[in-house]
A = this chain, B = another copy of it.
Amino acid sequence: MNKISDAVISRLPRYYRYLDELRQQNVERVSSEELSRLMHVTASQIRQDFNNFGGFGQQGYGYNVQSLYEEIGKLLGLDTNHSMVIVGAGNLGRAIANYGNFKNRGFDIVALFDQNPALVGMKVGDAEVRDIETLYDFVKENKVEIVALTLPKEPATEIAEKLIDCGVKAFWNFAHTDLSFSDDIIVENVHLSESLMKLTYRLFENQKQQKNEE
């Protein structure tokens, strides 16, 4: 299979979400035109995206919702279980641990870690907050592959490097810095404030436009 572009990969989870909704509404088949209307993207974009993965079946008759949902889930690695720990048990870490949907998608949050003794021992969802001192041994013993970093930027790089030595393969990074390691280590940097700035950019553009029209 050719290397798939990052833009296409970014759209897969969105297809997955819409197909999940259709599936829950007992819709059996969906055409690219119907998906197009629902998702506000063009039907040709959808067909092009799907062609990267062999097209997912007969286009003329539309797609089978359940099997398309499962195929995309497999592509996203959601048919296997992933164990994940969260480093940083503040509000953001706890928000993620409490998010029930992750479990349905095969993400098993096995523990949270924090340096704050007041948080250690607290139950969050099905997981417990543990002392950050025990993080590295825990990750090795439990063969944890994915770590969510919900902590300040200062310690993030050092902690991530130590975790790589313990076998961690992927970081979901919310610390306010871009982490980047060798190619075999996956990093997904989430910068919440940057999405808010995109919003204010567009808000500001709209306001300028309205002033021009007045």
Q: Which residues of A contact B (CB under 8 A)?
A: 9-10, 12-14, 16-17, 39-40, 75-78, 80, 82, 90-92, 94-96, 98-99, 101-102, 105, 107, 145-146, 169-170, 172, 176, 178, 180, 184, 186, 188, 190-204, 206, 210
Q: Known A145-B203, A199-B172; judge A13-B98 contact (CB<8 A).
A: no
Q: Are A13 and B193 in contact (CB under 8 A)?
A: yes
Main SS of chain A's interface residues?
A: helix
Q: Known A202-B186, A203-B186; judge A197-B78 contact (CB<8 A).
A: yes
Q: Are B193 and A9 in contact (CB under 8 A)?
A: no
Q: Known A91-B92, A196-B188; judge A203-B105 contact (CB<8 A).
A: no
